[in-house]
Amino acid sequence: MARVSFREQVLRAREDAIVSSVNRLLAQRGYDGMTIDAVAADVGIAKAVLYKHFSSKESLAAAAMVKVLERAQARLGELAAQPASALERLKAVVRWTMQEQLAGEMPALPAQNSTLRSALMADQGYLGKLMEVSDRLGEWITQAQADGDLDAALPPEVVLYTLYARACDPVLAVLKASGGYSDERIIELLLATTFGGLQARAAVAAAPAISRKGPTRSPGSPARSTKAGSGR
């Protein structure tokens, strides 16, 4: 293995500090509230030095999202190695994302921002990791449906995006700010509504099945068209 020079170590450490700061500021202030000046001040470097690592606010956000996906990949790998059902693994993933958000470690990005979206779509590191995470979750979703633990009438991508939504769910912050619930209780409540729904069980049993018409896309794989029931 090639030895990393001291200068390279310093540059990597500074870049890690920048991305950590961006991650924290995005979680606290959101994308609009996170500025280049704020990041530079938080890290303790000049703005000109920051620009040597990242060319724009969009590239900073993209780097933060790559780090989040790397953490998600590590967590998914840990869960895959454990003897658990697909449903238990999905619940563990959602629990982890909510813990990250309550701890202020989950970046908050706007749903609509053309320049940010363009930057993310141009970042191959981000896209590759997002696809890997989505494919792993998609496998667990279809397995949980095959096991009878999740509603097989739901398109897998709908389940996937519902689970992704928990990572940026404003309900967590609202409940925490109320002071009426501990973090663990908040997580348990949202896990219950995510996987159990809001209707009473008798009402759920009596509800008509959701129609699934035509082919759908595989969870997280926009370019791979497949039938919604594939893999089961």
Regions of the chain where pLDDT drops below 70: 1-2, 111-112, 199-232
Q: Position 140: which residue type? A: W
pLDDT in tens, 196-221: 887 665 545 555 555 444 444 444 44
Instruction: Classify residue 218 by its DSSP letter.
Output: P
CATH topology of domain 57-226: Tetracycline Repressor; domain 2 (1.10.357)
Find the helix or strand (DSSP H, E) in which 12 lies.
helix 6-33
Looking at residue 225, its pLDDT comes to 35
Tell me the pTM.
0.78
For the chain, the straight-line distance linking the first and the last C-alpha, in angstroms and rounded, comes to: 43
According to DSSP H, which parts of 34-56 are helical?
36-43, 47-53
Looking at residue 11, its pLDDT comes to 85
Angle at 105 between CA 100 and CA 109, to 5 degrees: 105
Collapsing DSSP to helix, strand or coil, 82 comes out as coil
Looking at residue 221, its pLDDT comes to 44
Looking at residue 208, its pLDDT comes to 54
Residue 210 · residue 154 · CB < 8 Å: yes
The domain limits of the chain are 57-226
Looking at residue 153, its pLDDT comes to 94
Looking at residue 206, its pLDDT comes to 55
Six-digit token string for 90: 């999905």
Looking at residue 189, its pLDDT comes to 95
Give the whole-angstrom CA distance, residue 203 versus residue 2: 63
